[in-house]
Amino acid sequence: MNEMSIVPKIGITGAPRVGKTEGLIKVVRRLEGEYTFGGMLTKSIVENGTRMGFSLMDWITKEERVFAHVELDTPYRVGKYRVDLKVLETFGIPIITAAIKNEEVDIVIIDEVGKMELESKKFRRMVKVALECDKPVLLTMHKKSRDSLLQEMRNMNNVRILEITPVNRNVLPYKIEKLLKEEWQH
């Protein structure tokens, strides 16, 4: 790797429910023919039309575990959800670690760096490791949080943060694809 090439780390931010995860998935789907992806995706658990929680999914194996749910038995709460940090730490973090270490994986995905996930010190450390690794990272992140890690990410030279909105959500995946291809000599 030459000294000049920057390995892009791209953060997708936006208001809740604007489609950060969907935007991330669109980028991955468009690039899957050229690159291999690995990492963690957060999926909504919807029951009778109402969001009841979230599961974490391993992008490669498609295995899922419930991470947050209104009915989980756990002391951690974020909004109406009860959060199982053990799932994040014993399932989510190893998925990200594996994606960074796996030579078959070109681009690491972390969805999402948000309020629930930031409750975990181990997850916070994992995000820093990912941002320092020699692979591109695509991540989604909470928009308004004053969290120190998110503030630090916003100030990092190698992190590009793009906001997804109802207006640009169809074109943003193309913009991210272009950024990745222009900035990253693979």
Fold of 9-180: Rossmann fold (3.40.50)
| pTM of the entire predicted model | 0.92
- 142 Cβ partners below 8 Å, 6+ apart? 13, 112, 113, 114, 115, 118, 150
Structure tokens at 73: 């038995």
Asked if residue 2 has pLDDT above 60, the reply is no
pLDDT per position as a tens digit, 24-80 = 999 999 899 899 999 999 999 999 999 999 999 999 999 999 999 999 999 999 999
DSSP bridge pairs for 137:
9, 108
Domain boundaries, the chain: 9-180
What is the pLDDT, as a whole number, of residue 4? Answer: 45
**Average model confidence (pLDDT) for the chain?**
92
